[in-house]
Amino acid sequence: MSTRTTRLTIRAAAVVAAFLTFVNLTQAGAREEGRLLIATEVIEEVQGMPDQRVPDALLSRAYGIAVIPDVTKVAFIFGGRRGKGVLVVRDKLTSPWSNPAFVTLTGGSWGFQAGAQSSDIIVVFTTKTGVEGIEGGKITLGADASVAAGPVGRQGSAATDMTLNSEIYSYSRSRGLFAGVAVDGSALTIDRAADASFYGSGDVTTREIISGQAPTAPVAAQRFLERLAQATRSPVRGAPSQADGPASGPAPAPAAEAPRTYPLEEQHTAPEPAQK
Protein backbone atom coordinates (compact mmCIF):
# COMPACT_ATOMS: atom_id res chain seq x y z
CA MET A 1 0.00 0.00 0.00
CA SER A 2 1.41 3.40 -0.94
CA THR A 3 2.14 6.11 1.57
CA ARG A 4 -0.59 8.33 0.10
CA THR A 5 -3.19 5.60 0.43
CA THR A 6 -2.13 4.95 4.02
CA ARG A 7 -2.52 8.62 4.91
CA LEU A 8 -5.96 8.79 3.33
CA THR A 9 -7.02 5.70 5.26
CA ILE A 10 -5.79 7.19 8.54
CA ARG A 11 -7.60 10.49 7.86
CA ALA A 12 -10.81 8.66 6.96
CA ALA A 13 -10.60 6.64 10.17
CA ALA A 14 -10.05 9.82 12.19
CA VAL A 15 -13.09 11.48 10.61
CA VAL A 16 -15.27 8.43 11.32
CA ALA A 17 -14.02 8.28 14.91
CA ALA A 18 -14.74 11.98 15.44
CA PHE A 19 -18.22 11.57 13.97
CA LEU A 20 -19.00 8.58 16.19
CA THR A 21 -17.78 10.48 19.24
CA PHE A 22 -20.05 13.41 18.35
CA VAL A 23 -23.02 11.07 17.90
CA ASN A 24 -22.33 9.39 21.24
CA LEU A 25 -22.11 12.73 23.05
CA THR A 26 -25.33 13.91 21.42
CA GLN A 27 -27.16 10.72 22.36
CA ALA A 28 -25.79 10.88 25.90
CA GLY A 29 -27.05 14.43 26.35
CA ALA A 30 -30.44 13.38 25.00
CA ARG A 31 -30.57 10.49 27.50
CA GLU A 32 -30.00 12.84 30.42
CA GLU A 33 -32.63 15.28 29.18
CA GLY A 34 -35.07 12.39 28.82
CA ARG A 35 -34.33 11.32 32.38
CA LEU A 36 -35.14 14.84 33.60
CA LEU A 37 -38.39 14.99 31.65
CA ILE A 38 -39.56 11.68 33.11
CA ALA A 39 -38.59 12.80 36.63
CA THR A 40 -40.64 15.97 36.08
CA GLU A 41 -43.66 13.88 35.07
CA VAL A 42 -43.29 11.75 38.21
CA ILE A 43 -43.36 14.85 40.43
CA GLU A 44 -46.37 16.29 38.59
CA GLU A 45 -48.38 13.07 38.68
CA VAL A 46 -47.61 12.12 42.29
CA GLN A 47 -48.30 15.57 43.70
CA GLY A 48 -51.49 15.74 41.66
CA MET A 49 -53.08 13.00 43.82
CA PRO A 50 -54.46 14.50 47.07
CA ASP A 51 -54.64 11.19 48.94
CA GLN A 52 -51.45 9.64 47.51
CA ARG A 53 -48.67 12.17 47.60
CA VAL A 54 -45.65 13.27 49.59
CA PRO A 55 -47.08 15.45 52.40
CA ASP A 56 -46.54 19.18 51.93
CA ALA A 57 -45.26 19.47 55.51
CA LEU A 58 -42.49 16.99 54.72
CA LEU A 59 -41.53 18.65 51.43
CA SER A 60 -41.29 22.03 53.15
CA ARG A 61 -38.61 20.57 55.45
CA ALA A 62 -36.61 18.85 52.71
CA TYR A 63 -32.93 19.66 52.18
CA GLY A 64 -32.62 17.19 49.31
CA ILE A 65 -34.95 15.31 46.95
CA ALA A 66 -34.04 12.47 44.60
CA VAL A 67 -36.42 11.24 41.89
CA ILE A 68 -35.50 7.91 40.30
CA PRO A 69 -38.04 6.84 37.64
CA ASP A 70 -38.39 3.28 36.38
CA VAL A 71 -36.39 1.50 39.06
CA THR A 72 -36.32 -2.13 37.99
CA LYS A 73 -36.52 -4.78 40.70
CA VAL A 74 -35.75 -8.37 39.71
CA ALA A 75 -35.89 -11.17 42.25
CA PHE A 76 -35.39 -14.92 42.49
CA ILE A 77 -34.43 -15.83 46.09
CA PHE A 78 -32.00 -12.87 45.95
CA GLY A 79 -33.50 -9.59 44.78
CA GLY A 80 -31.91 -6.49 43.35
CA ARG A 81 -33.06 -3.04 42.25
CA ARG A 82 -31.45 -0.51 39.97
CA GLY A 83 -32.49 2.80 38.45
CA LYS A 84 -31.18 6.15 37.28
CA GLY A 85 -32.53 9.53 38.33
CA VAL A 86 -31.72 13.05 39.51
CA LEU A 87 -30.95 14.72 42.84
CA VAL A 88 -31.30 18.35 43.93
CA VAL A 89 -30.35 19.95 47.26
CA ARG A 90 -30.62 23.32 48.97
CA ASP A 91 -28.62 25.01 51.70
CA LYS A 92 -31.59 26.59 53.48
CA LEU A 93 -35.29 25.76 53.53
CA THR A 94 -35.97 29.16 51.96
CA SER A 95 -33.33 28.77 49.24
CA PRO A 96 -34.00 27.69 45.64
CA TRP A 97 -33.10 24.15 44.62
CA SER A 98 -29.70 23.48 43.12
CA ASN A 99 -29.10 22.35 39.57
CA PRO A 100 -29.72 18.60 39.21
CA ALA A 101 -26.99 16.03 39.75
CA PHE A 102 -27.55 12.63 38.15
CA VAL A 103 -27.60 9.58 40.40
CA THR A 104 -27.96 5.80 40.29
CA LEU A 105 -29.90 3.80 42.89
CA THR A 106 -28.83 0.18 43.50
CA GLY A 107 -29.73 -2.30 46.21
CA GLY A 108 -30.46 -5.91 47.04
CA SER A 109 -32.43 -8.10 49.43
CA TRP A 110 -32.60 -11.69 50.63
CA GLY A 111 -35.65 -13.88 51.19
CA PHE A 112 -38.24 -15.91 49.33
CA GLN A 113 -39.17 -13.72 46.37
CA ALA A 114 -39.60 -14.03 42.64
CA GLY A 115 -40.63 -11.84 39.73
CA ALA A 116 -39.83 -8.45 38.26
CA GLN A 117 -41.42 -5.04 38.51
CA SER A 118 -40.72 -1.40 37.76
CA SER A 119 -41.45 1.50 40.08
CA ASP A 120 -40.73 5.20 40.54
CA ILE A 121 -38.75 6.01 43.69
CA ILE A 122 -38.74 9.37 45.51
CA VAL A 123 -36.28 9.97 48.34
CA VAL A 124 -36.68 12.98 50.66
CA PHE A 125 -33.77 14.15 52.86
CA THR A 126 -34.92 16.10 55.93
CA THR A 127 -31.49 17.08 57.29
CA LYS A 128 -28.42 18.71 55.77
CA THR A 129 -26.15 16.01 57.22
CA GLY A 130 -28.25 13.31 55.57
CA VAL A 131 -27.49 14.62 52.08
CA GLU A 132 -24.01 16.10 52.58
CA GLY A 133 -22.34 12.73 52.06
CA ILE A 134 -23.41 12.67 48.42
CA GLU A 135 -20.59 15.10 47.63
CA GLY A 136 -18.24 12.20 48.24
CA GLY A 137 -19.99 10.28 45.47
CA LYS A 138 -22.13 7.80 47.41
CA ILE A 139 -24.67 7.45 50.23
CA THR A 140 -25.80 4.10 51.65
CA LEU A 141 -29.38 4.55 52.83
CA GLY A 142 -29.87 3.21 56.33
CA ALA A 143 -26.14 3.10 57.04
CA ASP A 144 -24.85 6.64 56.42
CA ALA A 145 -28.26 8.07 57.41
CA SER A 146 -31.44 6.63 58.92
CA VAL A 147 -34.19 5.90 56.41
CA ALA A 148 -37.89 5.08 56.82
CA ALA A 149 -40.96 4.54 54.68
CA GLY A 150 -42.53 7.96 54.26
CA PRO A 151 -46.02 9.03 55.33
CA VAL A 152 -48.51 9.61 52.52
CA GLY A 153 -51.36 12.01 51.79
CA ARG A 154 -53.41 14.14 54.17
CA GLN A 155 -52.99 11.79 57.14
CA GLY A 156 -49.27 11.80 56.49
CA SER A 157 -49.25 15.59 56.77
CA ALA A 158 -50.68 15.41 60.27
CA ALA A 159 -48.22 12.70 61.30
CA THR A 160 -45.27 14.58 59.84
CA ASP A 161 -46.18 17.71 61.79
CA MET A 162 -45.83 15.74 65.04
CA THR A 163 -42.48 14.02 64.56
CA LEU A 164 -39.57 13.68 62.14
CA ASN A 165 -37.34 10.97 63.55
CA SER A 166 -35.66 9.83 60.34
CA GLU A 167 -33.19 11.72 58.21
CA ILE A 168 -34.51 10.18 54.99
CA TYR A 169 -38.00 9.16 53.85
CA SER A 170 -38.56 7.05 50.75
CA TYR A 171 -41.56 6.41 48.51
CA SER A 172 -42.45 4.08 45.66
CA ARG A 173 -45.09 4.28 42.94
CA SER A 174 -45.88 1.02 41.19
CA ARG A 175 -48.94 0.15 39.09
CA GLY A 176 -50.66 3.37 40.14
CA LEU A 177 -50.17 2.78 43.88
CA PHE A 178 -48.05 5.31 45.75
CA ALA A 179 -46.80 4.44 49.23
CA GLY A 180 -43.87 4.71 51.59
CA VAL A 181 -41.28 1.99 51.05
CA ALA A 182 -38.16 0.94 52.94
CA VAL A 183 -34.98 1.06 50.86
CA ASP A 184 -32.51 0.20 53.63
CA GLY A 185 -29.16 -0.89 52.24
CA SER A 186 -29.68 0.75 48.87
CA ALA A 187 -26.87 2.95 47.61
CA LEU A 188 -27.36 6.32 45.96
CA THR A 189 -24.32 6.99 43.77
CA ILE A 190 -23.39 10.02 41.68
CA ASP A 191 -23.50 9.25 37.94
CA ARG A 192 -20.39 11.21 36.96
CA ALA A 193 -20.57 10.24 33.29
CA ALA A 194 -24.12 11.59 33.06
CA ASP A 195 -23.14 14.82 34.83
CA ALA A 196 -20.22 15.32 32.43
CA SER A 197 -22.46 14.72 29.41
CA PHE A 198 -25.28 16.98 30.62
CA TYR A 199 -23.09 19.91 31.66
CA GLY A 200 -20.64 19.51 28.79
CA SER A 201 -17.60 19.27 31.07
CA GLY A 202 -15.69 16.13 31.97
CA ASP A 203 -14.21 17.85 35.03
CA VAL A 204 -17.48 18.99 36.62
CA THR A 205 -17.84 17.89 40.25
CA THR A 206 -20.89 17.28 42.42
CA ARG A 207 -19.90 20.16 44.69
CA GLU A 208 -19.77 22.52 41.69
CA ILE A 209 -23.20 21.38 40.50
CA ILE A 210 -25.03 21.76 43.80
CA SER A 211 -23.26 25.01 44.70
CA GLY A 212 -24.05 26.65 41.36
CA GLN A 213 -20.43 26.80 40.18
CA ALA A 214 -20.96 24.33 37.32
CA PRO A 215 -21.67 25.48 33.76
CA THR A 216 -25.22 26.70 33.24
CA ALA A 217 -27.69 23.81 33.15
CA PRO A 218 -29.50 23.21 29.85
CA VAL A 219 -33.10 24.31 29.48
CA ALA A 220 -34.34 20.77 30.19
CA ALA A 221 -33.45 21.27 33.86
CA GLN A 222 -35.56 24.39 34.24
CA ARG A 223 -38.95 22.69 33.96
CA PHE A 224 -37.96 20.14 36.60
CA LEU A 225 -36.78 22.88 38.97
CA GLU A 226 -39.95 24.90 38.39
CA ARG A 227 -42.24 21.95 39.18
CA LEU A 228 -40.22 21.07 42.26
CA ALA A 229 -40.27 24.68 43.45
CA GLN A 230 -44.04 24.69 43.02
CA ALA A 231 -44.43 21.45 45.00
CA THR A 232 -42.19 22.66 47.83
CA ARG A 233 -43.37 26.28 47.77
CA SER A 234 -39.84 27.56 47.32
CA PRO A 235 -38.34 30.17 44.98
CA VAL A 236 -37.32 29.15 41.49
CA ARG A 237 -33.60 29.06 40.79
CA GLY A 238 -32.59 31.97 38.58
CA ALA A 239 -35.85 33.88 39.03
CA PRO A 240 -35.39 37.62 39.69
CA SER A 241 -35.76 38.54 43.34
CA GLN A 242 -37.73 41.45 44.78
CA ALA A 243 -34.50 43.40 45.17
CA ASP A 244 -33.81 43.11 41.48
CA GLY A 245 -36.99 44.97 40.63
CA PRO A 246 -37.46 48.73 40.53
CA ALA A 247 -36.84 50.47 43.84
CA SER A 248 -40.05 52.51 43.65
CA GLY A 249 -43.54 51.59 42.63
CA PRO A 250 -44.78 51.38 39.09
CA ALA A 251 -43.47 53.97 36.68
CA PRO A 252 -45.52 57.16 36.81
CA ALA A 253 -47.87 57.76 33.96
CA PRO A 254 -46.71 60.36 31.45
CA ALA A 255 -47.94 63.86 32.17
CA ALA A 256 -51.16 64.72 30.45
CA GLU A 257 -50.68 66.84 27.39
CA ALA A 258 -52.08 70.35 27.67
CA PRO A 259 -55.29 70.75 25.71
CA ARG A 260 -54.87 72.37 22.37
CA THR A 261 -57.04 75.25 21.26
CA TYR A 262 -57.81 76.11 17.68
CA PRO A 263 -58.89 79.75 16.88
CA LEU A 264 -62.07 80.05 14.91
CA GLU A 265 -61.73 81.33 11.40
CA GLU A 266 -62.62 84.98 10.90
CA GLN A 267 -66.14 85.25 9.59
CA HIS A 268 -66.79 87.91 6.90
CA THR A 269 -70.33 89.33 6.86
CA ALA A 270 -71.83 91.40 4.09
CA PRO A 271 -72.33 95.16 4.95
CA GLU A 272 -75.87 96.13 5.92
CA PRO A 273 -77.70 98.32 3.33
CA ALA A 274 -77.87 102.06 4.22
CA GLN A 275 -81.25 103.24 5.46
CA LYS A 276 -83.00 105.91 3.43
Tens digit of each residue's pLDDT (9 = 90 or more) over 94-149: 999 999 999 999 986 554 455 567 889 999 999 998 888 888 889 888 887 788 88
Tell whether the model's pLDDT for residue 201 goes beyond 90: no
Give 115's DSSP letter: E
- Counts for the chain of helices (H) and strands (E), in that order: 7, 7
**Tens-place pLDDT, residues 13-63:** 554 444 444 444 444 478 999 999 999 999 999 888 877 789 888 998 999
**Following DSSP, what letter does each residue of 195-235 receive, concatenated?**
HHHHHT-TT--HHHHHHT-SSPPPTHHHHHHHHHHHHHT-P
- For strands 168-174 and 147-149, give the pairing: parallel
The pLDDT of residue 212: 81
Q: What percent of the chain clears pLDDT 70, i.e. is strictly above it?
A: 65
